[in-house]
Chain A
Amino acid sequence: DGGITQSPKYLFRKEGQNVTLSCEQNLNHDAMYWYRQDPGQGLRLIYYSQIVNDFQKGDIAEGYSVSREKKESFPLTVTSAQKNPTAFYLCASSLSGQGALEQYFGPGTRLTVT
């Protein structure tokens, strides 16, 4: 089956710890994206990558870091510098020719930091 996988589905961490969220796709898509979703605020873009070994900051990149060493993988690290890390994190991908038009989303990871 082709698609995007995110793991784990639920993640719990103590304040002050860094945590890495996994995102893998087997759709052969060039572009990958990370969003954060909070209640009543829709989705906000954290980082995106259009090709391997290159990525750009989105609208709320502070406190987050990413890497894109393989086309299939785009992990997101939530660092201790992120002030309000508890949220629902969504990864997406799209064909490079489509740009942002047809993004396919993973099932999400719900991160809770206490």
Chain B
Amino acid sequence: QKEVEQDPGPLSVPEGAIVSLNCTYSNSAFQYFMWYRQYSRKGPELLMYTYSSGNKEDGRFTAQVDKSSKYISLFIRDSQPSDSATYLCATVVLGQKLVFGQGTRLTINP
């Protein structure tokens, strides 16, 4: 079983919609969860990370962790065409390295 699993999509939504991106993880000992955004042919950039469970909000982006179901989510409100990118979830393993999900390709249609 992979440590982090993510539906690769693609996901296409109209501008202004609320987007929900999701990952599952395998080990209940994982504590830190990250979301990265990657534009085509570029390196990923860190959007936010959360510790343990609960929500974290940054502008239009909200990250949520549900430890009981080992489920992590990223919500994007009022989505914009500039949000079109691949979104990668990740978790820290053994305190030293990141393990990534496969990434979900998102397109916001004007």
Binds B, one of A12-20, A76-84, A105-113: A105-113
Given contacts A48-B97, A102-B49, A108-B42, whether A40 and B32 have CB atoms under 8 Å apart is no
A43 CB to nearest chain B CB (Å): 4
Say which residue of A100, A106, A110 sits within 8 Å of B98 (CB atoms): A100
A45 to B94, CA, bound (A): 13
A32 CB to nearest chain B CB (Å): 12
Question: CB of B46 within 8 A of chain A?
Answer: yes
Tell me which residues from 67 to 110 in chain B have a Cβ below 8 Å from any Cβ of chain A. Answer: 88, 90, 92, 95-103
Is B92's CB under 8 angstroms from A42's CB? no
Question: CB of B6 within 8 A of chain A?
Answer: yes
Is B88's CB under 8 angstroms from A105's CB? no
**Interface size class, chain B:** 20 to 34
Residue of A with least CB distance to B95: A99
A48: chain B residues within 8 A (beta carbon): 96-97
Is B98's CB under 8 angstroms from A42's CB? no
Is B95's CB under 8 angstroms from A41's CB? no
Which chain B residues have a beta carbon within 8 Å of chain A's beta carbons? 6, 8, 32, 34, 41-46, 49, 88, 90, 92, 95-103
Please, could you name 15 A-B residue pairs with CB atoms under 8 Å apart, sorted by A? A42-B101, A42-B102, A43-B44, A43-B90, A44-B100, A48-B96, A48-B97, A58-B97, A90-B44, A92-B43, A100-B98, A101-B34, A101-B49, A102-B49, A105-B45
